[in-house]
Amino acid sequence: MDNLNIGHKIKKLRELKNLTQEHMANSIGISQGAYSRMELGETEITYSKLEKISEELGLKPEEIIAFNESVVFNVMNNQTGNGLVINNSQLSEGEKNLYEQQILLLKEENTHLKKVIEGLINR
């Protein structure tokens, strides 16, 4: 396996789930430093570690290996200009679930920020 490439994919997927390196390290039984080195491609990612990581991310190891950032992050403004369209025709079910979770989190954050702004305006 290409450790640098796999590590980069794992990092992107971890960030999409809003998980910390410390959380991931604890879940697979290694130090945060060792986990960081895996994401950086500095240490080998064994298949058994990949299985543990994929389980924590809610994916299959094959989905991490096949994760295609260029497809996933092919984001453009939609026609109405009020949202984003993600080309998900090549996404696995696990990847789709990750993005749906991320979208929900962003919507919640957006609602919260609108309330904060309204509160500041109405002072």
46 SS3 class = coil
Domain that holds residue 80: 1-123
Which pLDDT score, from 0 to 100, does residue 18 have?
Answer: 86
Whether 50 has a pLDDT exceeding 80, the answer reads: yes
Q: How far is CA 31 from CA 35, 95, 117, in A?
A: 6, 26, 40
Whether 86 has a pLDDT exceeding 70, the answer reads: no
Residues forming a β-bridge with 77: 84
Which pLDDT score, from 0 to 100, does residue 90 have?
Answer: 62
Taking phi over 0 as left and psi of -120 to 50 as alpha, with beta for the rest, 41 belongs to left
Nearest to 72 by CA among 91, 57, 94: 91
CATH of the domain at 53: 1.10.260.40
Whether 56 has a pLDDT exceeding 90, the answer reads: yes
As a whole number, mean pLDDT of residues 61-89 equals 55
pLDDT confidence tier of residue 17, bands split at 50, 70 and 90? confident
Domains contained in the chain, number: 1
